[in-house]
Amino acid sequence: MNRQPYGNPPRWWEPRLTPVFMRLTAWYRWWRLRTVQRLTGVEIRGYEHLHRALAEGKGVLITPNHSVHYDAAAFYTSFDRIGQPAYYMTAWQVFAMVNRFEQWIMQRLGAFSVDRESNDRQAFKQGVAVLRSEPYPLVIFPEGDVYHVSDRVTSFREGAAAIALSAAKRGERPIVVIPCGIKFRYVDDPSAQLAKAALELEERILLRPMPDRPLPERLYRLAECILALKEIDHLGRTFTGSVKERSQALSQAILSRLESRHRIKDNGGTTPERVKALRQSIIRKRADITTATNDGAATGDGAATGDGAATNKRVGAEARSTRDEDDAPNDAASRLRTLAGEMDDLFFVMQLYSYPGDYLLGNSSIERIAETLDKFEEDILGRDLPRVRGRRRVEILMGEPIEVQCGEDRRGAVERLTRTMEEAVQGLLDQLNARTPAMAASR
């Protein structure tokens, strides 16, 4: 997974969708996908559901899976082919990590920012406004992060369903959700490149290379080695069991420790939900410490004034709520380092979450092997993006619209709609996987 800055976003980026700009830049965006990502084609099916819903004046929310870093770019290209502008909800970190010209382009292509680690009211209102009155659909990737698992949907976050239900509650027009599956397939056989990547990983962590063994076996060996190191790091010793069982136990141990430290109750939420709650706490405490430190600096050393005494009291309370009292750090810099370490621990939990643990058991397709190696390259080798291993094509399948119905039980309605969307997208991925793989067809 890619590391991203977590904190309070510097600003909100509003959408400035310009259909003419979308048409004029379509050739360039497709050229980038062909040359950089080596995509050979984009096929979109089921878009008649979208055209029909828009023609009937409905507000449309599209919910694709999110398995690779450039699936949004491929989705843009598919919409170029059918001449359909759209709005896209995008993590604020994507805006923050590019230059102003790229931000300008993204806004003209309909993107607007959202802070996924908070209750972003501005982004929420923008999403509701698009569904209520705009002539173009809204695209949200409910998985949130990129997990490199294209055959399985990971837990959907509930924000997309909440936006759809809020728009439907206003009653201006019917709202529908169109589930969408995205699948990348190799056209060329990348086996030689995959074997080379596995060898590099084995050498990096000082394992004896095993080029004669099947790639899935080598990848599980890599996973067990890394998992053992992290068990020692966090728990003091290694454990037994399957990779899936051990990674879930390690994740649970880290989350439970941090929830106890931050006094957050585990209400049985998904791993992303628990991580989000902890990140919110860390971001808030980090901001409080920084503010208190700045206030103390503005009043001198803080020891001779009433304001300084109040500042010291706030900082002391912050330390006690962040760590156990017995080993509470004594200065703001140490407390910030502690919080930064906890944020790293949460990132590691999400890395564990991105590995199902049984993804290569029973079905070790070339795409699944490649996706696992893509994650290893990011997580072990520290690459921003995995290497391109061969030509690929992308298939996009849109499903039957899901009518959004409001009821009295809003909380229950959000949960039900989220699960319905998740199951619908998984069904579309199953349909895509049932087709003959492009690489096999080309041999």
**Could you tell me the residue ranges of all domains in the chain?**
19-188+390-442, 268-351
For residue 303, the model assigns a pLDDT of: 41
- Give percent of the chain with pLDDT exceeding 90: 71
Does the pLDDT value for residue 309 go beyond 50?
no
- Beta partners for residue 396, in sequence order: 44, 182
Cα–Cα distances in angstroms (integers) from residue 372 to residues 7, 218, 222, 283, in the given order? 29, 11, 11, 31
- What pLDDT, on the 0 to 100 scale, is given for residue 442? 36
Residue 436: its pLDDT value, please? 59
What is the reported pTM? Answer: 0.86
pLDDT the model gives residue 281: 93
Of 241-245, 301-305, 326-330, 343-347, the one with minimum mean pLDDT is: 301-305
Query: CB neighbours (10 Å) of residue 331?
Result: 11
Instruction: Reply yes or no on whether the pLDDT at 328 is more than 60.
Output: no
**Does the pLDDT at position 310 exceed 80?**
no
Contacts made by residues 14-18, CB under 8 angstroms, sequence distance 24+: 14/107, 14/112, 14/126, 15/87, 15/107, 15/110, 15/111, 15/112, 15/126, 15/130, 16/107, 16/108, 17/85, 17/87, 17/108, 17/109, 17/110, 17/136, 18/108
Q: What pLDDT shows up at residue 329?
A: 52
Q: What integer pLDDT is reported at residue 293 of this predicted model?
A: 76
Q: What is the mean pLDDT of residues 198-227?
A: 93
pLDDT at 330: 61
Amino acid identity of residue 377, one-letter, is E
Strand partners, 175: 59
Provide CB contacts within 8 A for 264, sequence distance 6+: 258, 277, 278, 281
Structure token pair of residue 328: 């509470």
Tens digits of per-residue pLDDT, 168-196?
Answer: 987 779 999 999 999 999 999 999 999 99
Which range is least confidently modeled, 104-118, 160-174, 228-242, 401-415? 401-415
pLDDT score, position 437 = 56
Q: What is the pLDDT of residue 111?
A: 97
Q: Half-sphere exposure (CA, 13 Å, Cβ side) for 29?
A: 23
Average pLDDT over residues 278-302: 79
**What homologous superfamily is domain 19-188+390-442 in, according to CATH?**
Glycerol-3-phosphate (1)-acyltransferase (3.40.1130.10)
What is the structure's pLDDT at 331? 82
In this prediction, residue 5 carries a pLDDT of 80
Q: What is the pLDDT of residue 362?
A: 80
* Mean predicted lDDT score pLDDT of the chain: 88
Q: Residues 72-100: what's their mean pLDDT?
A: 94
Residue 189: which residues within 8 A CB-CB, separation 6 or more?
Answer: 366, 390, 439, 443
Residue-wise pLDDT for 110-122, tens only, equals 999 999 888 899 9
Question: Across residues 295-301, what is the average pLDDT?
Answer: 62
pLDDT in the model for residue 133: 94
* Res. 70: pLDDT tops 80: yes
What is the mean predicted confidence (pLDDT) over 412-440?
86
Statement: residue 327 has pLDDT above 60: no
Given pLDDT bands bounded at 50, 70 and 90, which one contains residue 258?
very high
Are 429 and 180 spatial neighbours (Cβ–Cβ below 8 Å)? no
| Of the listed ranges 15-29, 88-102, 141-155, the one predicted with least confidence | 141-155
The answer to whether residue 150 scores a pLDDT higher than 60 is yes
